[in-house]
Amino acid sequence: MDANTFVAELIRDNEELLARLAPAATLANEVGGDLAPAKLLRVALKNEIEASEIAAMWLPSAGSVALKLALARQAGDEAKHYTHIEQRLRELGDNLAGYDPVAAGYSPIFEYLKGLQTDVERVAAEVLSDRHVLAELEAIVAGGSVSSAPSGAHAVERD
């Protein structure tokens, strides 16, 4: 099996597993049952700050300059996403004064990702969170380079 086939099968298997989840039920549990947009956007704020922190944590130990640069871009992109969501919450009338999205602690996935030690483990974990970043990181691990195209394109940026 070549690398491309492996990645394609991994993505397909992950999609099948994730399709079994009930997203509304999962989110309802995370926000205490209230699926109001402002509650969901606060969950998104936490996700964005955690993603930014993970990319920044992995940066110093990345195995190549290209990977360091990709992680630096990702950390910045996630911070930008945070700012966009914060702006939308303010438009919805949510007062974020003093709000700290990680005051109650980091998520289990953050703790898991924080513990990954190798570039390969970290890139594999990205499969679950962001395919655009995955493609960029895969190219780097394979010895290639990336364009200056922005990474981490999320729905927030596509508005």
Q: Which residues bind Fe ion (CB under 5 A)?
A: 48, 78, 81, 154
Closest residue by Cα to residue 96 from 87, 104, 105: 87
Shortest Cβ 41–Fe ion spacing (Å): 13
Return left, alpha or beta for 93; rule: phi > 0 is left, psi -120 to 50 is alpha, else beta: left
CB nearer to Fe ion: pick between 2 and 154: 154
Q: Give the nearest distance from C-beta 78 to Fe ion in angstroms.
A: 5
Q: Is the CB of 23 or the CB of 143 nearer to Fe ion?
A: 23
151: left (phi over 0), alpha (psi -120 to 50) or beta: beta
**Closer CB to Fe ion, residue 55 or residue 62?**
55
Smallest distance from the beta carbon of 85 to Fe ion, in angstroms? 9
8 or 102: CB nearest Fe ion: 102
Q: What does the DSSP assignment read for 98-158? A: T--TTTT---HHHHHHHH--SHHHHHHHHTTT-HHHHHHHHHHHTT----SPPS---GGGG
CB of 65 to Fe ion, least distance (A): 23
When CB distances to Fe ion are compared, the closest residue is 81
